[in-house]
Amino acid sequence: MNILKVNGVELAYDSFGNENDEAIILIAGLGTQMIRWTVPFCRILADRGFRVIRFDNRDAGCSAHFSQYQALDFDALATALMSGQRPDIPYTLDDMSKDAIGLLDALSIDQAHFVGRSMGGMIAQIAASDYPERVLSLTSIMSSSGNPALPQTSPDVMAMMTKPAPNPLEDEAGFLADSLSFAKRIAGIGYPFEEDAYRALILEEVQRAYDPGSVGRQIAAIAVSGDRRPRLATIKVPALVIHGVDDPMFVPACGEDTASAIPGAELMLVDGMGHDLPHQLYKVTADGIERTARRN
């Protein structure tokens, strides 16, 4: 792992593959860390002739945190948005998109293929729209367009995601039970839920960094990003939207709407896939990323 000062914040990152190959930058989702892009997945892409870069978003993992800000008041955020006011929040998805571009600058990379999952897909969408000279292709996975008319996240999923969890430093067993319950709820039904692997991943994330307020701050960044369809309509690079048929966080209509908003985008709906990326789907996902990258 390496750390660079980028766009005014420190970002932690890893790199796989030959530094002279075309770059793929992998952007993580809400409240998760770069290690969700597992080493085996990164190596699959690197073996196909890409330099693969994964990094911790701001406020996640070993990158800079914004713990000095008060915990998010969800009711106040909703009230401000419904009244048309702009909430005072620490950062936006635009800032996080600038982080990704800044990381390329710091690594002396002119252009890269952008791949994002969930919130990371939103960040990648913004980068492809705002920095067309830097983005070679876009793959948006299990994400959405921000269209307010789309079906919302299942209430029970939202409740599980936003309720306070036990402190893992005080109640590791309770924290694990809570985290595993949520992971199982959003996972697809087409593949076995590998509890031991998830437990190890969750514990590794806690060991890297524990910041209970970061999820709320990132939710706020998503909430104020609004409807991205006008921005998506400006994207001219090859684009792929991968979405799970069983996704309870962003239902398939969210992926369909994203693909329809991007000119020429390919939509890949995956049976049995939820809001996660099981190892059984590494190859088909890598195939799609590579296919989209080679279209450029």
Residue 281 tokens read as 């789907």
Residue 69 is classified by DSSP as: S
State percent of the chain over pLDDT 90: 84
Structure tokens at 110: 């002119």
- State the pLDDT at residue 69: 83
What is the pTM for the complete model shown?
A: 0.95
For 31-54, what is each residue's pLDDT tens digit?
Answer: 999 999 999 999 999 999 999 999
List phi, psi (to 5°) of 135.
Answer: -105, 120
Q: Tokens for 133? A: 């000279």
| Encoded amino acid at 273, one letter | M
Q: Residue 272: which region, alpha, beta or left (left: phi > 0; alpha: psi -120 to 50)?
A: left
To which H or E segment does residue 55 belong? strand 50-55
Residue 161, pLDDT > 90, answer no
- The amino acid at 67: S
> How far from the centroid of its chain's Cα atoms is residue 136's Cα?
18
pLDDT score at 77:
66
Q: What is the pLDDT of residue 127?
A: 98
Instruction: Tell me the domains of the chain and their CATH numbers.
Output: 2-154+210-294 (3.40.50.1820)
User: What is the rounded distance in angstroms from the CA atom of residue 233 to the CA atom of residue 209?
Assistant: 37
User: Does residue 1 surpass a pLDDT of 80?
Assistant: yes
Sign for the CA dihedral angle at 95, 98, 100, 106 comes to negative
Read off the pLDDT of residues 87-145 as tens digits, 9 standing for 90 and up: 778 999 999 999 999 999 999 999 999 999 999 999 999 999 999 999 999 999 999 99
Reported as a single tens digit per residue, the pLDDT across 54-83 is 999 999 999 999 998 876 666 666 666 666
Residue 273's alpha-carbon distances to 142, 191, 224, 266, in angstroms, are 9, 8, 28, 17
> Tens of pLDDT along 177-215?
999 999 999 999 999 999 999 999 999 999 999 998 999
